[in-house]
């Protein structure tokens, strides 16, 4: 793209920061670029909506590039003047610099695992042979000089001799798939391109299934994609000859399509959906020539998938008539729901199962904390796996004949460790524990239940240093998500550890819209009930203030993606509640979100402005871009996004920043930090991540009035 810097009129604002004892010690003058207005007027059910910043949706234009450059200059000029930014970066770098090892998995004659020696931009995939000799298998740090090409999914043939792995460039959701001889590490054939939202499933050694869209007209980073197709790539043939298995004809048009095989390679299972909730399910018997796909579930009324099989018996995980999920069995010849039989029935807690070593492992969320029960394939309860503590467990998956399995365990103040598990007797031993200059014994987590606006009890975990004084002056980050059936369970974060070292509090409520209490909890935060999510988050802030953990002068709210919407809606509805707002990669224009990339698939949670006048009015009532008002003092705000984000396109953040900068009253700054050559977050290089957190924490503390870092006062 040819670079052209547009002449920009600058509006000036001076920011004062002080503590109670040191008035006006720090000042930073901000000159915002004055973003031009080019009104576009649309009619929604007789209501005319003016969009002054529609031009910022064109991510390929020279004007948008110039705007991004000008905004970043203002932002980084501000951030680089914060006196302790470098100290935060140094401490983040120091604490981040420890060896991290992922949970191992076995393929063929090797044990594979991801490892980072401390500050590598991307995790490296290692392997050990039967003799314990270690070697590097794939090093994504060698893919690009700036570390912005990351390793996505990876899939081995059953014998472990061939591998296909996907890569992402610049944080994009579009992937390339590379096929390699796993023994010699030699590339086998041409790269498969233009793959998106896809797994890789091998069928023997013949080839593999993958999913993608046709490349859209216009910008591949923002143009709409809504017809997903499942392909089969046969080794040794060009991609142009790949067979479309599902999704090519109008009656098979869906936004998300995925294919998988049962472990015995007998059945192909296809899932098809039009939104992020609810899917059809199909099966094909691959042992029979010319067998046809037949439906298991022919509607979108449930979320269901095949987790395993034995002979002709399928084991299906479903929330059909079971909001907290259950496992059922059915014969593959007659797989429809009327023939299902309960295998592991629904309980009062949400089920997330896995299989390995000839067993089922039923992980339950009990108030967002893990509990694991082990069952055999007759449905008999074998044991409860006593976990190392109170927190989040993951893993227990593996092949049917595996003699040992692995699982991980973590919580908000304990770095993740891996354990080697014997599925026969239920014993386990520590496999790997990090060596880190952080003492978990100095910190504590407490779960509380507070009351939301409509009387609903909401759980929240609050983590901080032991012995802090509840005086209302503790810098606090309230983090939330509240959507898409996603559950926020306890996990360790290096960045959070640095925040808590500074005396900071980190609080995470489990808002409605999430999956912590099953489908009913999710649905209670969708469409015309989305306001429940914002009310839950506001009530969390009010609880922290009422109980003297913090006060409005020391409260920051933070969230990303759907959580960015949460922050945007909360700060526009209750700007008095917090001092700092940190919306990241947010869905912020609720009238147009569904017109970009795969955004229309989010309609289950949000609804769309076109579906009805009532839905339009509801969305307009909380859409952050449309609810910024003049003569309101909004909190100090730093919006963060990536210029290659093709999940939630950066235009959301661009337009929100333009509205806030134009209408902000008072001295609180409104900045937008736009990471270049970066996407929605996955695969972001460690160096960029450290820089981001140093900026976020520096901005937050500075605007809370700290002239020095809290642990220096």
Residues annotated catalytic, as ranges: 561, 680
Structure tokens at 415: 């770095």
Spell out the long-range contacts of 14-22 with Cβ–Cβ below 8 A and sequence spacing 24 or more. Answer: 14/667, 15/78, 15/667, 15/668, 15/669, 15/703, 16/667, 17/702, 17/703, 17/705, 17/706, 17/707, 18/705, 18/707, 19/705, 19/706, 19/707, 19/713, 20/705, 22/707
CB count within 10 Å of CB 473 equals 19
Closest CA to 512 of 541, 478, 540, 483: 483
Query: Distance between CA 558 and CA 488 in Å, rounded?
Result: 14
Burial 272-307 (b: 16+ CB within 10 A, else e): bbbbbbbbbbbbbbbeeeeeeeeebbeebebbbebb
Stretch (H or E) spanning 614 = helix 613-622
Is 59 within 8 Å of 469 (Cβ atoms)?
A: no
Spell out the long-range contacts of 704-708 with Cβ–Cβ below 8 A and sequence spacing 24 or more. Answer: 704/475, 704/553, 704/554, 704/556, 704/579, 704/580, 705/17, 705/18, 705/19, 705/20, 705/553, 706/17, 706/19, 706/84, 706/475, 707/17, 707/18, 707/19, 707/22, 707/25, 707/26, 707/83, 708/83, 708/84
Closest CA to 167 of 125, 222, 129, 116: 125
């Amino acid at each position: 793209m040819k670079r052209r810097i547009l002449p920009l009129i600058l509006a000036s604002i001076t920011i004062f920061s002080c503590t109670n004892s040191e008035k006006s010690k720090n000042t930073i003058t901000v000159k915002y670029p004055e973003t031009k207005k080019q009104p576009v007027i649309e009619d929604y059910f007789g209501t005319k909506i003016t969009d002054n910043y529609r031009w910022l949706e064109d991510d390929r234009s020279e004007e948008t590039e110039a705007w991004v450059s000008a905004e970043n200059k203002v932002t980084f000029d501000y951030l680089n003047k914060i006196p302790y930014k470098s100290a935060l970066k140094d401490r983040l770098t120091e604490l981040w610099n420890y060896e991290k090892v992922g949970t191992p998995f076995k393929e063929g004659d090797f044990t594979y695992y991801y490892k980072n020696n401390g500050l590598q931009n991307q995790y490296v995939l290692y392997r050990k042979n039967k003799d314990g000799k270690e070697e590097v298998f794939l090093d994504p740090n060698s893919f690009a000089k700036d570390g912005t090409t990351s390793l996505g999914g990876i899939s081995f043939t059953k014998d472990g001799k061939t591998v296909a792995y996907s890569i992402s460039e610049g944080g994009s959701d579009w992937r390339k798939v590379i096929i390699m001889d796993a023994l010699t590490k030699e590339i086998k054939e041409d790269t498969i391109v233009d793959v998106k939202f896809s797994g890789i499933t091998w069928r023997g050694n013949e080839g593999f299934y993958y999913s993608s869209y046709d490349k859209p007209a216009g910008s591949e980073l923002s143009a709409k994609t809504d017809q997903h197709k499942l392909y089969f790539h046969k080794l040794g043939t060009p991609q142009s000859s790949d067979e479309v298995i599902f999704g090519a004809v109008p009656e098979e048009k869906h936004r998300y399509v995925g294919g998988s095989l049962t472990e015995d390679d007998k059945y192909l299972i296809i899932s098809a959906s039009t939104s992020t909730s609810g899917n059809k399910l199909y099966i094909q018997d691959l042992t029979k020539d010319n067998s046809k796909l037949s439906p298991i579930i022919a509607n979108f009324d449930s979320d269901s998938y095949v987790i395993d099989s034995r002979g002709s018996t399928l084991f299906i995980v479903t929330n059909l008539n079971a909001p907290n999920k259950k496992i059922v069995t059915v014969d593959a010849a007659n797989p429809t729901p009327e023939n299902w039989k309960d295998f592991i029935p629904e309980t009062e807690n949400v089920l997330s199962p896995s299989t390995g070593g000839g067993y089922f492992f039923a992980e339950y969320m009990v108030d967002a904390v893990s509990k694991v029960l082990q069952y055999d394939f007759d449905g008999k309860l074998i044991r409860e796996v006593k976990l190392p503590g109170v927190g989040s467990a993951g893993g227990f998956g593996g092949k049917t004949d595996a003699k040992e399995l692995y699982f991980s365990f973590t919580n908000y103040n304990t770095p993740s460790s891996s354990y080697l598990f014997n599925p026969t007797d239920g014993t386990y031993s520590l496999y790997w524990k990090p060596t880190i200059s952080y003492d978990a014994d100095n910190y504590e987590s407490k779960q509380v239940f507070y009351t939301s606006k409509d009387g609903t009890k909401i759980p929240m975990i609050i983590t901080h240093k032991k012995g802090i004084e509840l005086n209302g002056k503790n810098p606090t980050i309230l983090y939330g998500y509240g959507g898409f059936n996603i559950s926020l369970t306890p996990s360790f974060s290096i960045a959070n550890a640095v925040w808590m070292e500074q005396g900071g509090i980190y609080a995470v409520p489990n808002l409605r819209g999430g999956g912590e209490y099953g489908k009913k909890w999710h649905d209670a935060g969708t469409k015309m009930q989305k306001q429940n999510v914002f009310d839950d988050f506001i009530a969390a802030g009010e609880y922290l203030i009422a109980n003297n953990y913090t006060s409005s002068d020391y409260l920051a709210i933070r969230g990303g993606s759907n959580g960015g919407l949460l922050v945007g809606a909360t700060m526009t509805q209750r700007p008095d509640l917090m001092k700092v707002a940190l919306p990241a990669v947010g869905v912020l224009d609720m009238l147009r979100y569904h017109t970009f990339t795969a955004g229309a698939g989010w309609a289950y949670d949000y609804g769309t402005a076109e579906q009805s006048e009532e839905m339009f009015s509801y969305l307009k009532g909380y859409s952050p871009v449309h609810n910024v008002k003049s003569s309101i003092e909004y909190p100090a705000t730093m919006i963060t996004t990536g210029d290659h984000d093709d999940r939630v396109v950066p235009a959301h953040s661009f337009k929100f920043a333009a509205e806030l900068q134009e209408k902000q009253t008072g001295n609180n700054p409104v900045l937008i930090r736009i990471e270049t050559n970066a996407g929605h977050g996955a695969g972001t290089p460690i160096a960029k991540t450290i820089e981001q957190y140093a900026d976020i924490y520096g901005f937050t503390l500075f605007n809370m009035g700290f002239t020095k870092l809290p642990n220096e006062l």
